[in-house]
Structure 1
Amino acid sequence: MDRGGRVEEGTAIRAAEFFAGIGLVRTALEPLGVKVVWANDIKQGKFEAYRANHPDADHHFKVRDIREVEAADLPPRIDLATSSFPCIDLSLAGNRLGLAGTQSGMFFEFARVLAGMRERPSVVLLENVHGFATSHGGEDIRSAFKELAKLGYSLDVLAIDAKHFVPQSRPRMFIVGIAHDKLPKNAHVGVPPLSDVRPAWIRKLHERHSQEFSMHYVDLPALPEGPTDLSGVIDHDVQDADWWDAKRVQAFVDSLSDVQRIRFEALRNGDAISYRSAYRRTRQGNSTWELRRDAIAGCLRTTGGGSSKQALVELGRGREARMRWMTPREYARLMGADDYQLIAGTPNQQLFGFGDAVVVDVVRWIGQHYLMPVFSPDAT
Structure 2
Amino acid sequence: MIDESVATTQTPVRAAEFFAGIGLVREALEPLGVQVVWANDIEKAKRDAYAANHDASHFLLDDVRKVTAENLPADIELATSSFPCVDLSLAGNRLGLVGSQSGMFWEFARILEEMRKQRPRAVLLENVHGFATSHGGKDLSDALTRLSELGYSCDVIAVDARHFVPQSRPRMFILGIRGGVVPGAQTGIPPVSDVRPEWVQRVHARHQHLAMHYLPLPRLPEGPHDLSGVVERMDTSDPRWWGPDRVAAFVESMSPLQTARLQALRDSEGISWRTAYRRTRNRVSMWELRRDDIGGCLRTTGGGSSKQALVELGKGEVRVRWMTPLEYARMMGAGSYKLTAGTPNQALFGFGDAVVVDVIKWIGQHYLLPVLRPQVVLQAA
What TM-score bracket applies, with the shorter chain setting the length?
over 0.9
1:235 matched to 2:229? The reply is no
Name structure 2 gaps, 5 residues minimum. none
1:117-164 CA-partner distances (Å, limit 9, x unpaired): 141000000000000000001100011001100110000000000000
1:62-102 CA-partner distances (Å, limit 9, x unpaired): 01100000001100000000000000000000000000000
1:313 aligns with: 311
Q: For 1:351, which of 344, 348, 351 is the aligned residue?
A: 348
1:70 aligns with: 68
Give the partner amino acid of 2:177. I
Instruction: Tell me the number of residue pairs that the alignment of Structure 1 and Structure 2 aligns.
Output: 375
1:222 aligns with: 219
1:339 matched to 2:333? The reply is no
Give the partner amino acid of 1:68. K
1:23 aligns with: 23
1:161 aligns with: 160
Q: For 2:358, which of 358, 361, 365 is the aligned residue?
A: 361
1:185-227 CA-partner distances (Å, limit 9, x unpaired): 21000111110000000000011001x2110001110000000
Q: CA deviation at 1:8?
A: 3.3
1:40 aligns with: 40
Q: For the aligned residues, what is the CA RMSD? A: 1.3
1:107 aligns with: 105
1:252-284 CA-partner distances (Å, limit 9, x unpaired): 010010000110011111121000000011111
Kept after mapping to 2: 8 A contact 1:130/1:172: yes
1:9 aligns with: 9
* Partner Cα distance (1:62, 1:4) in 2: 29
Give the partner amino acid of 1:305. G
Gap change, CA 1:10 and 1:180, over 3 Å in 2: closer
Kept after mapping to 2: 8 A contact 1:5/1:368: no
Kept after mapping to 1: 8 A contact 2:4/2:31: no
2:203 aligns with: 205
1:288 aligns with: 286
Q: CA deviation at 1:237?
A: 4.7
1:10-54 CA-partner distances (Å, limit 9, x unpaired): 500000000000000000000000000000001011000000001
Gap change, CA 1:13 and 1:215, over 3 Å in 2: same
Percent of matched pairs sharing the same residue: 65
User: How does the TM-score come out when normalised to structure 1?
Assistant: 0.97
Q: CA deviation at 1:5?
A: 6.7
* Partner Cα distance (1:307, 1:366) in 2: 30
1:328 aligns with: 325
2:254 aligns with: 256
Gap change, CA 1:343 and 1:34, over 3 Å in 2: same
Q: CA deviation at 1:249?
A: 0.3
Kept after mapping to 2: 8 A contact 1:41/1:65: yes
* Partner Cα distance (2:36, 2:345) in 1: 27
Kept after mapping to 2: 8 A contact 1:277/1:310: yes
Q: CA deviation at 1:236?
A: 1.7
Kept after mapping to 2: 8 A contact 1:6/1:31: no
* Partner Cα distance (1:278, 1:115) in 2: 44
* Partner Cα distance (2:367, 2:10) in 1: 21
Q: CA deviation at 1:9?
A: 3.4
* Partner Cα distance (2:282, 2:333) in 1: 36
Give the partner amino acid of 1:326. M
Q: CA deviation at 1:3?
A: 3.0
Matched residue SS, 1:282: strand
* Partner Cα distance (1:6, 1:107) in 2: 34
* Partner Cα distance (1:372, 1:149) in 2: 21
Give the partner amino acid of 2:195. V
Matched residue SS, 1:188: coil
Q: How does 1:112-151 map to 2 (within 5 A)?
A: 112-117=110-115, 118-151=117-150
1:97 matched to 2:102? The reply is no
* Partner Cα distance (1:379, 1:74) in 2: 27
Q: CA deviation at 1:184?
A: 2.6
Give the partner amino acid of 2:258. Q
1:325-348 CA-partner distances (Å, limit 9, x unpaired): 000000000000010000001000
* Partner Cα distance (1:3, 1:227) in 2: 23
* Partner Cα distance (1:14, 1:87) in 2: 26
Kept after mapping to 2: 8 A contact 1:17/1:39: yes
* Partner Cα distance (2:334, 2:3) in 1: 24
* Partner Cα distance (2:127, 2:207) in 1: 19
Q: CA deviation at 1:2?
A: 6.9
Q: CA deviation at 1:376?
A: 1.6
Give the partner amino acid of 1:17. E
Kept after mapping to 1: 8 A contact 2:279/2:285: yes
